[in-house]
Structure 1
Amino acid sequence: MKIGVISDTHGDRRSIERAVARVGTTDFWLHAGDHGQDSRSLVELTGLPVVSVTGNCDGRTEAKPDEFLEFEGYRIWLTHGHRNHVREGHADLLFWARKYEVQAVIYGHTHIPEVHWEQDLLIFNPGSASRPRGGFPASCGLLIVSSQIITPQLIEL
């Protein structure tokens, strides 16, 4: 199963279009907040299921702050990360990930792409599709999930 992952689009539809084109064929999309309502654009462009969470810039939205999903036996926690102090590190994410018994955490907020393994736990930030920081290019991500392994990829836009 291929899952497109995007975050921090901030209403920039062109960045979403670029991400969809660069990622290619997927089965599902995840949006890690800051304009989670941009998930509507993802649905329009792909016709695929999209799950999004609310970020610190989203204001009133129907999206929840956290979503828990399962793909091919892997439990994934999707969150924006601002409530977990991700700018200061992974400690809070790690604490809750262990408590929630997930195998992967997907977050945004920092606008900085990251693939980090903490033993068997994947911590994945696709970066920002529209407003990158830290000298990184605009980016999104792809998760390839099978019953045996979850493989993250960062994709430059």
Structure 2
Amino acid sequence: MKLFFISDIHGSLHYARMALEAYKKENAGYIAILGDQLYHGARNPLPKEYNPKETAALLNGFADKIIAVRGNCDSEVDEMVLDYPIMSTYSTILYNDRRLFLTHGHIYGESNLPKLKAGDVLIYGHTHIPKAEKRGDIYIINPGSITFPKENHPNTYGILEGNCFRIKDFYGNVYMEVSLD
């Protein structure tokens, strides 16, 4: 099964549309949203086409395909307008005999790793900086931000298919990848 990962939408209807178009083109089974869905956050400028209400309506059209976790900008009121749960600090997916630990990154992350076994994968957002690497015997992946990329990175999303995690730009170009051996 092919999985699609995005993070840090921050209420941008423009980038949410672009991400969902990429999801359709990728023909993935599920969408994992790694937090910060509707609110732009006090440290961020208003994103392009900032419209949390319409962004929620757009995402709700895919509710049966979304697995989401809470970001530091997400709140209970956001969950009231979304048709899928978002208030969990983390979620796990069992995939090809390994655990994918999904989180936003403000609680669990590279500096505060959850308990993972060899071969497991930490997938998080929050930093807006893409990453795909093996560290010791675990994998650390961040698909980047679809709305506010940092450090001159492009707007990116992630694809997990087979044992390869690819981070792509909105043109479908592979930006980074790691093989999950």
Shorter-normalised TM range: 0.7 to 0.9
Match of 1:127 among 129, 144, 162: 144
Aligned to 2:31: 29
User: What is residue 81 of structure 1 aligned with on the other side?
Assistant: 105
Shift of 1:70: 1.1
**1:55-66 to 2 correspondences below 5 Å:** 55-60=71-76, 61=79, 62=85, 63-66=87-90
C-alpha contact (below 8 Å) 1:22/1:155 kept by paired residues:
no
Report the CA distance between 1:2 and its aligned residue: 0.6
Return the letter of the residue paired with 1:77: F
With over 3 angstroms needed to count, the CA separation of the structure-2 counterparts of 1:102 and 1:34, relative to structure 1, is: farther
CA contact (8 A) 1:75 1:103 kept: yes
Q: Cα gap change, 1:104/1:13 in structure 2, threshold over 3 Å: closer, same or farther?
A: same
TM-score for both structures, normalised by structure 1: 0.80
1:140 correspondence with 2:157:
yes
- Please tell me whether the aligned partners of residues 110 and 127 of structure 1 are also in contact (alpha carbons under 8 angstroms): yes
Conservation of the 8 A alpha-carbon contact between 2:8 and 2:146: yes
Question: Is this contact kept in 2: 1:6–1:128, CA < 8 A?
Answer: yes
Task: Give 1:82 deviation, angstroms.
Answer: 0.5
- Tell me, in whole angstroms, the C-alpha distance in 2 between the residues paired with 1:143 and 1:155: 11
Q: How far apart, in 2, do the equivalents of 1:139 and 1:55 lie?
A: 18
Amino acid at match of 1:80: H
When residues 77 and 39 of structure 1 are mapped into structure 2, their CA distance, relative to the original with a 3 A threshold, is farther
**2:120 partner amino acid:** Q
Q: Structure 1, unaligned stretches of length 5 or more?
A: none
Higher RCO (CA-CA < 8 Å; seq separation 6+): 1
Structure 2 gap ranges (5+): 39-51, 80-84, 171-181
Is 1:49 the counterpart of 2:73 in the alignment? no
Contact 1:116 1:122 in 2 (8 A): yes
Q: How many residues align?
A: 145
Q: Cα–Cα, structure 1 residues 131 and 47, in superposed 2: closer, same or farther, change >3 Å? A: same
**In the TM superposition, what are the counterparts of 1:75-114 in structure 2 within 5 Å?**
75-84=99-108, 86=109, 90-93=110-113, 96-98=114-116, 103-114=120-131
Q: Looking at CA atoms only, which structure, 1 or 2, has the larger radius of gyration?
A: 2
Q: What does the per-residue CA deviation read over 1:55-91, in whole Å, with 9 as the maximum and x for residues that have no partner?
A: 101122442111111123221110001013x4xxx24
> Do structure 1's residue 151 and structure 2's residue 164 form an aligned pair?
yes
1:6 is matched with 6
Match of 2:107, SS state, is helix
Q: Normalized per residue, which structure has more helix?
A: 1
Taking structure 1 as reference, are residues 48 and 27 closer, same or farther at Cα in structure 2, changes over 3 Å only?
farther
